Amino acid sequence: MTLLDLIVSPAYAQATGQPAPGGLFGGGLGGLLFPIVLIGVMYFLMIRPQMKRQKEHRAMLDKLGNGDEVITNGGIAGVVREIGDSFVTVEIADNVRVRMQKGAIANVLPKGTLKSA
């Protein structure tokens, strides 16, 4: 026994006449089954819900109009005053307007939410 045997286990030849190890995921087509199932599970648990959220957010931004009350990703609440192709002007207080990207809008609030707060 050498020092190398403590780090790496020695490999021994398989005895003749014994079947090769197979099992459910061992070899052949069964070896491909596990990665395919894993990719399918990842798609339905991670990728598909994220694509659905992106689609809903894009639809919300397309329906955005002047006078809508919004909350930004940074937590700033305000009223939309101007809408451009990729930028929106949000009034956060009297005569205080902030210009930001459309993607920074997190939610559209129901009308009258900011007045009651």
Domains and CATH numbers, the chain: 31-116 (2.30.30.60)
The H-or-E segment that residue 50 falls in is: helix 48-62
- Cα–Cα distance measured from residue 70 to residue 109, given in angstroms and rounded to the nearest whole number: 5
In the chain, where does DSSP find H-type helix? 3-7, 30-42, 48-62, 113-116
pLDDT in tens, the chain (117 residues): 677 777 777 677 666 665 555 555 555 677 788 889 999 999 999 999 999 999 999 999 999 999 999 999 999 999 999 999 999 999 999 999 999 999 999 999 999 888 876
CA torsion sign, 51 to 52 to 57 to 62?
positive
Alpha-carbon distance of 43 to 50, in angstroms, equals 10
The CA R_g of the chain, rounded to the nearest whole Å, is 29
Handedness of CA 49, 54, 55, 61 (dihedral sign): positive
Q: Are 77 and 99 in contact (CB under 8 A)?
A: no
Task: Report the C-alpha gap between 58 and 64 in whole angstroms.
Answer: 10
